[in-house]
Structure 1
Amino acid sequence: MSTTHTHHHHPNFHPPNYKQPGAFDVLHPLRRWVNHIPVKNARFAHLICQVIPCCCPFERNINLFGRTFHIPALCKLNPLYDDFVGLRFRALSYLTDECGEDVTKYIC
């Protein structure tokens, strides 16, 4: 029995941090710098894991005048979000692979 899957394609939809190939990226030098920060010692790796949160710190519910308001996660709107998440991942990997440390305290 053959199953046919229908995929819905939305040609004009792009994730928030999507960059069209060949498009000018004014943040490219900053992205390149963040992506090339070496993680070579445990102290620096711990600092990165402490400074860059494992989940977006902005998403929360606020109670005001008896009503609850939800503030959505805004991290994906940060144009360097993926680069900082990558840096944090490299720090976690360094701590586990090179230092043999348990990093569960840094995982949400």
Structure 2
Amino acid sequence: MGATGLGSSTPLVLSGDWRIGRLEPHRVCLLKALDSASTGFDLDASGITHIDTLGLQLLAVFVQQCLRRQITIHWSARPPLLQESGARLGLDTLLAWPADASAGTI
């Protein structure tokens, strides 16, 4: 996972294994991204290969912290794995997913 600045929206690529026991590097990266945020994030989660409930909760907390700080969230890509798991757990709203099934801005 990496973050690079581009204009006012920062691309943030989420990838790898987001299951318990493998979340610490992702948590650290999200905290660093949050601390350096300008006005928004362009989230690309297409590289997430595995995710469990704790991984989804970590993403939800990140998104909610962004929204509290008035940082715009744009989901540029969400793999079916992420979308189905989040919907099954009822986390759509906390993850700030738009009505469009694949991407959008909140």
Q: Which has the higher contact order (CA 8 A, sep 6+)?
A: 1
TM-score where L is the length of structure 1: 0.31
Which of the two has higher C-alpha Rg?
1
